[in-house]
Structure 1
Amino acid sequence: MKTLNRREWSKLTLTGVAGLMIPKAFAFHKPGSVTIGLQSYSLRDRPLDEALAAMVSLGIKSCELWGGHVEPQAAQWQRNSTPEQNKQKKALLEEWRANLKMDEIHAIRDKFKAAGIRIQAYTASIKDSISEHDLEQQFQIAQALGTDSITTSATVSVMKRVDVYAKKYKIQVGMHNHAHVEQPNEFATPDSFARGMQGLSEYIKINLDIGHFTAANFDAVAFMKEHHKQIICIHVKDRKKDQGDNLPLGQGDTPIGPVLHLIRDNGWPIPANIEYEYKGADTVEELRKCIAYCQNLVKA
């Protein structure tokens, strides 16, 4: 697809046909700017309706919707859960998936629409053990939410199965990385991304977490320069190199400013979704600081 320059973009927008000729990411993106969005996992301390209210109060207009805000809250994994509790949570989630009606998902979509927040992507849980029913259901949920993108902390080995449904539903899938460089089947290194996409369709792409990438001692700026066409969104967090801690934005080694400037200056339609993981006093107030920090960098 041809890359539009700013003059061509303006001409298409004025004639009212830009949204018909370009993907959703382009239609939402304003050239010369950066979409500062939110990974709703940042608000994992509250249920969906409260998380949505928090996003409205923060002025968020673009959200990467975490699966935990779609699935039953009682089924969510919690630290220090007992084996019996985990068994009960798994059974509850299996029951929910077996009986899910897409009207429930449409209701979530409508809540976001009423709030003026675009669901940029749906974050699905996809591992090697996932059944074919549950794997296809993740795409059906994304479709019902009205998004053309899924992000997932999957494995390299499951991506061939994922690609079957990505092509069927015409939904792109961004592989999300952590910093587990010692696990070759996890996404953590440039090589793991390459192996995850090798031989698969154009729907298999990347959700680059620039914080984890830095903690794994890789260069997010260089990677984005080379692979920006495969990146559907980034996660913004700040970590130290050498598997360092999550820190407030600006206190780690992650090149947040240079990355945001790359997106802005090149007009790349890559949303920058804040993923809050460091320990702060109040989630919403910390997110307010994160948003302001990123906005100020974009203006610089």
Structure 2
Amino acid sequence: MLYTRRELGKMALAVPAASLIRFQAKPDSKINGVQIGLNVPYSFGNNLMPADETLRDCVQLGVSAVELRSQPVEAFMGVPTELLRRASQKADVDALRQPRLSASMDKAKALRNHWEDAGVRIEILKLDGIYNMTDDVLDYGFTLAKTVGARAISCEISADGTKRVGEFADKHKLMVGYHGHAETAPEHWEAAFKQAKYNGANVDIGHFVAGNNTSPLPFITEYHDRITHVHVKDRKKNKGPNVPFGEGDTPIKEVLQLLRDKKWNIQATIEFEYPIPAGSDRMAEIAQLHSDERGKTLDRGLIGGSAHAWSHSLSILPIVPNQGQAARPRSA
């Protein structure tokens, strides 16, 4: 029997998250040593999506590690949602200062424990508006990232701001992965690397190809110790559009094989950005990234096309307990 993308997505959503957690082994999206992650809740289309809903969708998709925007965490901590809605604007960053500084890190720790109990680790915390933050709020941001268990912060790259942010990264000994777009060239990251030991790169391999018209593999190879995570998407050269996996010029398979073979601690973070086809939705499309001919770019790149528990359960079997995966212990 054949199913439409929408039907597959509905099947993935058919069982409540609590049932998935109770009857399934915890999600495991690490394939042959490569941690596949997801940029959330951005990939779900709503940066203000509540933390519990974001976790529910990650569990239902079988994702075990994420790049998480700070908004769901801060809302859980009691920071006003309306201010978080415009967190990148300076006036709202200023208005957020006191609510942020008075928020309890105990709540952030509780959120971390809840997510890790469900099998999802917050590896990277994305901070919007970081260049408009006062010194005390920057300290808060780095402390928040550590509290939720992140090994890095991510933010957009800015030639005028990476030196100052890098000073805080060095102070807190926590990497910052600066996200590049099509306009970002290798020399922009290289300049940031010279400014601070903990300045790093979040290489969006789709944007890299679209803007630089060349493969990101040499850059990733040279600076692998500075790369916190790569954003996995497919784009065409010459600033071409985002397209479904396998339809663009991005060497997704080759990047994943490089991470696999070199055993680098670099999360391969799916960032969903291509237009949603008629009759489908985001959840169905993200699930399909590992189940149809396009998505086999991921699995074939890592495991030669053989079945993997995560990619198999993403599309049609989220309700079947996975007996082969053991639960992970929660981090301290």
Shorter-chain TM-score range: 0.7 to 0.9
Per the alignment, do residues 243 and 75 of structure 1 end up closer, same or farther by CA in structure 2, a change over 3 Å counting? farther
Pair 1:110-2:105 in alignment:
no
Q: Which residue in 1 is equivalent to 2:44? A: 43
Q: Which residue in 1 is equivalent to 2:226? A: 230
Aligned ranges 1:11-22 → 2 under 5 Å: none
Pair 1:172-2:172 in alignment:
no
Gaps of 5+ in 2: 1-27, 76-80, 305-332
Which letter does structure 2 place at the counterpart of 1:286? E
Pair 1:252-2:260 in alignment:
no
Q: Which residue in 2 is equivalent to 1:289? A: 288
Per the alignment, do residues 291 and 170 of structure 1 end up closer, same or farther by CA in structure 2, a change over 3 Å counting? farther
Which letter does structure 2 place at the counterpart of 1:273? T
Whether the aligned pair in 2 keeps the contact of 1:31 and 1:267 (CA below 8 Å) is no
Q: Secondary structure, in 3 states, of the residue corresponding to 2:223?
A: helix
- CA separation in 2, counterparts of 1:76 and 1:44? 16
Describe the superposition over 1:118-166 as per-residue Cα deviations: whole angstroms up to 9, x where unpaired. 1111111244332112211110110111222111113122122222222
- CA separation in 1, counterparts of 2:152 and 2:93? 26
The structure showing larger relative contact order (alpha-carbon pairs under 8 Å, at least 6 residues apart) is: 2
Aligned residues between the structures: 258
Whether the aligned pair in 2 keeps the contact of 1:177 and 1:213 (CA below 8 Å) is yes
Describe the superposition over 1:195-217 as per-residue Cα deviations: whole angstroms up to 9, x where unpaired. 1111422x111111101111102
Q: Which residue in 1 is equivalent to 2:312? A: none
Which letter does structure 1 place at the counterpart of 2:230? I
Per the alignment, do residues 198 and 145 of structure 1 end up closer, same or farther by CA in structure 2, a change over 3 Å counting? same
Whether the aligned pair in 2 keeps the contact of 1:64 and 1:120 (CA below 8 Å) is yes
Per the alignment, do residues 193 and 91 of structure 1 end up closer, same or farther by CA in structure 2, a change over 3 Å counting? closer
- CA separation in 2, counterparts of 1:220 and 1:151? 19
- State the 1:295 CA deviation: 2.7
Per the alignment, do residues 31 and 115 of structure 1 end up closer, same or farther by CA in structure 2, a change over 3 Å counting? closer
Q: Which residue in 1 is equivalent to 2:147? A: 144
- State the 1:57 CA deviation: 0.6
- CA separation in 2, counterparts of 1:136 and 1:176? 20
Per the alignment, do residues 63 and 244 of structure 1 end up closer, same or farther by CA in structure 2, a change over 3 Å counting? same
CA RMSD of aligned residues (A): 2.5
Pair 1:124-2:120 in alignment:
no
Identity %: 34
Per the alignment, do residues 263 and 118 of structure 1 end up closer, same or farther by CA in structure 2, a change over 3 Å counting? same
Whether the aligned pair in 2 keeps the contact of 1:126 and 1:135 (CA below 8 Å) is no
Q: Which residue in 2 is equivalent to 1:74? A: 82
Q: Which residue in 2 is equivalent to 1:205? A: 200
Per the alignment, do residues 260 and 64 of structure 1 end up closer, same or farther by CA in structure 2, a change over 3 Å counting? same
Which letter does structure 1 place at the counterpart of 2:168? Y
User: Structure 2 residue aligned with 1:57, among 36, 42, 60?
Assistant: 60
What TM-score does the superposition give when structure 1 sets the normalisation length? 0.78
